[in-house]
Each structure stands twice: as structure tokens, then as C-alpha cells.
Structure 1
Amino acid sequence: MLVAAAVCPCPPLLVPEVAAGAAPELAALRDACADAIGVLAAARPDRLAVLGPAPGPGSYPQGARGSFRGFGVDAEVWLGRGEAATAAPQLPPSLAVAAWLLERADWAAAPVTGLGVGEVSTGAECAAAGRELAASADRVALLVMGDGSACRTLKAPGYLDERAADFDAGVARALGAADTAALAALDRESARELLVAGRAPWQVLAGAGEGAGLTGTLLYEDAPYGVGYMVATWS
């Protein structure tokens, strides 16, 4: 059963070594992510599943390695504590950022596994995956990684799209209210057009949260660099 969830964005710029001189600009976002992970630890889960967008679906055991070399930094991370899983596939960037957040928080509250969520997954597929995760242990927590629209400003990666702010505002309301129905109803095509990286992981969360009776809190919502970033907790 799902007992807690934290939703965080997944830009590699969260990692100060990647951001370099721009690192102070995202300090408030890092602090909000740390607070969200603290809520997960306080829930005393039996299992933590980390979800993030990926080119295709995939699972990653505790100890799977991630790297930021593709972003110009010779730095590695591992998913959770314990022996490195050297034979495991490398973490996609979203889960590498999650691994960095957990390492920064000194996570030791529960075993960790990772799940890459295919960006083309349908809402129904995501919901089914979420229900399966929620049923995998008595007390399940989720760390859900994903960005909002990348079309919030003229300088955004996807340029300005007038629909982007409203789309992100709707997601922020749903995350802050733990509204599983609203997340499940997100339109896949609109999310694709607006370069929303978090749609599929959020819909996995919606499936996992069905009937769990959790309440939500929105900790952060802004669009630095023209990309929507949201941090929320469900508990």
C-alpha cells in the first residue's frame, strides 16, 4: 500500500557540480526536494521505489550506477546504499538525479529500487504499473521524478507555448491536492507537444495512490529556465 510519495523535478542542474556557477539559482529547489525526501523517511516505508522518465521501460536494482559524464562532469552516483550492482544497466538521467538526492539525504530508511517509465507509455499502462507497485509491500513509498512543460518562456528549450502555464498549473493543483483522477486524466498528446517529461511518472503515481487516502502538499512551483519544476509530498 502506498503510504507516502515525493514528487521532484529531474534536471541534472540540480547537481551543483553540473550547474557550476548557476548552482545558487536552484538552492531553494534543492531544499524543497530535501524536505520532500524527509517526508518519505518519516513514513517508515518497507520499500522505496524511484520512478523517472526514460526512453523505454526498465528496472534498476539497489546499487545501480548513474553518471553525469554526459553533462560534462566526471561524477557517479549509486541508487541507494549497499554493494554496487555492477552488472545492472546504467541509470537514466532522471534516476541518476534521484540517486543524487537520496545520497544527499543520506537515505537509509528502506531498500531502494528504480523504475524507468517509458515516455510513450499510455495512461492505462502507467496506472497499472502504479497499482502493482502499491501492492508490492505493506508500506510502499515513491520518489517520483519528472519536469513540467519546457515551453514556459521564449528562452525555454521548447520556446514559448501559451498552453504551457495552464498545463503546469493544473498539474501543480493535482499534486498539491493528491488528486489521482486529475493526474490520470492528463492528455498524453498535449504533454508531448509541451515537452512535459513528468506525465508518465505522475500517472504511475496516480495509479499507486488510488484509494490510499493520502493528502498532498505543494512545496515548490516555478519555471526557472522556462521549464516547470514542481515539488510535492503525499502522506
Structure 2
Amino acid sequence: MLYISMIVFSAIVPPSPLLIPVIGKDHTQQLTATLKAYAELQEHLIASRPDVIVVITTQTAVEYERFEINQSPTLVGTLSEFGDLDFSLERTGALGFCHHWKEQLEHSVDVHLCTFNELPYDATVPLFLLTNSLASVPIAVTSSSRASWGEHFRFGKESQHIFLTRKERIAVIVSGTLSPRLSPDSPAGFSLAGKSYDSMLIKHFRKWDTEAIRAMDPQLVEEAGAPAHQGILLMIGMLNGIGIASDILCYESPFGIGYMTAEFKIL
């Protein structure tokens, strides 16, 4: 069954601080394809006219077997931890939207509201690269957690049912990388599973074979160390039953980390 959804845009993006020239310096030039893909996504996001942007962070996942939705009315992102002391991004939080989202979820999913004014870097980087022309659009931030794969999918699926009752046009963005273990000099070390995971996931995404993604070998995913995987399952739940055309805009790994930029167009 295909659903009519208020989700008008969906994508996955890598949140590398190296995409910011002040931080990346010469390394930024090695991510030209990713930056070009971001620019294309930005155009499509603007064209979708979102009323709310939901960001699913995965690099800074919640260390609990529950989910959190950030209801802070103001959101501030900095990149001082990466050496850029001047960078600052300010956005409005989707306070009412987040409260309703949590209230409708709490009987089926273990979810809590939190109020963190400071955005994690994996929300800050994508918002900077995608929303400079949409700075007034409220932001709702949630995160992957230590909950099971099934719980992530259920969180997404139940969220979709809630979004269907809303009047807002909703954009969903997963922020995360694929495997960080693609080469001997990778920051997380090398694993043969890294390349296998990235290749397999991209193949499934090209076909929009969500059942195959949900059925991937947990040991392979663990050995690949892919931070985005649970966030992807959450997004798949949100898009469950919706007609989707996948567009892998870019995949590159110049630093031994899999950076995939992709859009999942609502049909």
C-alpha cells in the first residue's frame, strides 16, 4: 500500500567538518564531489518548501536504549572543537512540532524530550550547507541510539503515521557516514567489512530495496563500524510504504571514510 505523506524531501548526507574550508583547508578540495552534491540537494530542499526540517544525527548517537527529541526553542551550532572559533549557526527549534511528536509516540516507542541549546556537529554541518536560504524554517533534531534495529524502524514508522496527521511539509535528513574502516590509514582502523558494507548498502539503495537493508548481516555492519546504519533504518521507517526514487548523488572515500550523499525522492 502506498501512502500519501507530508514528507516532501528526504536525504542522507555526510557531516564531515572537513567540508568547511576553514577547518578542512587543503582537505576540502578532496571533497569537491560531495560539496557539489550538497549544492544540488540544497536546491531540491528549497524547492520542496519545507515547514519543518527533521535532522537525524548518527555520529553523536544517544548512549541509551531509548530515543530523544530535542525540543529546544533555540539551536546554536559551533565548530570550535574542530578549531574554527568564529563559526556560529543559529536556528529556531520546532518546539510545538517536537512536543506533539513525542506525545503521540510515547505509548509505542521509548522516547523522551530533551532541551539542548547546542547543536552537535553532525547537525551543524548539514544545516550550514543546506539551509542558509531556509534559516527561518524550524528544526527538529533526533538521534539514533543503542536501541535495536527493529526499534529504530518502528520509531520511524510510527513517526510517519504522526506526520500524516500534521499540516506541515516535512523534510527528513539523515546525517552520517558509511564505514570509517575503508583503508589502513582510516581513523577507525581497517576492516575488509568496510568496503563490503558500503558496496552492499549502495546497491540496495539504488534499487530502494529496504527489506534487503533491514536484513543485512549485523556482524558485517558491526565490523564495518557504520555510524549511519541505525539512522538509515529510522529513515526507512519514516518512508515505509511511500513511493521512492533513489538518487545516489555522490560516493567518495578520500580519507578512508565512506561519504555518501543521496536523495530519496518522493513519487
TM-score, normalization: structure 1? 0.86
Distance 1:106 1:23, change over 3 A: same
Shift of 1:187: 4.2
Query: Cα deviation per residue 1:187-221 (whole Å; 9 max; x = unaligned)?
Result: 44433332211111111111011101111111001
Corresponding residue SS for 2:74: coil
1:94 is displaced (CA, Å) by 1.0
> Structure 1 residues 22, 141: CA separation in 2 closer, same or farther (over 3 Å shift)?
same
Q: What amino acid does structure 2 have at the position aligned with 1:71?
A: F
1:64 to 60, 75, 81: 75
Change (3 A) 1:112 1:17: same
1:18 Cα deviation (Å)? 1.4
Aligned residues: CA RMSD: 2.3
CA distance in 2 between counterparts of 1:79 and 1:58 reads 19
Shift of 1:79: 3.7
The aligned residue for residue 122 of structure 1 is 148
Equivalent of residue 10 in structure 1, options 7, 11, 15: 15
Aligned to 2:98: none
1:77, CA displacement in angstroms?
A: 1.9
1:80 and 1:107 in contact (8 A); partners too: no
CA contact (8 A) 1:62 1:81 kept: yes
Aligned mates of 1:76, 1:58 — CA distance in 2: 24
**Matching residue's letter, 2:153:** A
How far 1:34 sits from its partner (Å)? Answer: 2.1
Gaps of 5+ in 2: 95-114
Percent sequence identity is 23
Query: CA offsets, 1:48-74, max 9 Å, x none?
Result: 211111231433346311221111111
Q: State the 1:100 CA deviation.
A: 1.6
Counterpart of 2:61 in structure 1 is 55
Q: 2:253 is matched with which residue?
A: 223
Instruction: Report the equivalent of 2:240.
Output: 210
Say whether the 8 Å CA contact 2:75–2:93 is kept in structure 1: no
How many angstroms apart in 2 are the aligned matches of 1:110 and 1:174? 32
User: Of 88, 98, 104, which residue of structure 2 is paired with 1:76?
Assistant: 88
What runs of 5+ residues in structure 1 fail to find an aligned partner? Answer: none
Query: Structure 1: how far apart are the matches of 2:73 and 2:16?
Result: 22
Q: Tell me: CA distance 1:107–1:173, structure 2 relative to 1, closer, same or farther (3 Å).
A: farther
Provide the residue aligned with 2:139 in structure 1: 112
Alignment partner of 2:228 out of 172, 189, 198: 198
Instruction: Give the distance between the partners of 2:11 and 2:212, measured in 1 at CA.
Output: 17
Tell me which residue corresponds to 1:20. Answer: 25
Please tell me whether Structure 1 or Structure 2 has the larger radius of gyration of its CA atoms. Answer: 2
Query: Partners in 1 of 2:216 and 2:90 — Cα distance?
Result: 32
> What secondary structure sits across from 2:49 in the alignment?
coil
CA offset at residue 81 of structure 1? 8.7
Question: What CA deviation, in whole Å up to 9, does each residue of 1:130-162 have, x standing for no partner?
Answer: 123323235422111110111111111122211
Where 2:144 maps in the other structure, the secondary structure is strand
Question: For the structure 1 residues 148 and 88, does the alpha-carbon distance in structure 2 shift closer, same or farther, using more than 3 Å as the test?
Answer: same
Partner SS, residue 226 of structure 1: coil
Match of 2:109 in 1: none
Give the conservation status (yes or no) of the 8 Å contact 1:52–1:201: yes
When the two structures are aligned, how many residues end up with a matched partner? 229
Are 2:93 and 1:88 aligned? no
- Provide the residue aligned with 1:178 in structure 2: 208
Residue deviations 1:9-40 (CA, integer Å, cap 9, x gap): 11111222211232222122111022123223
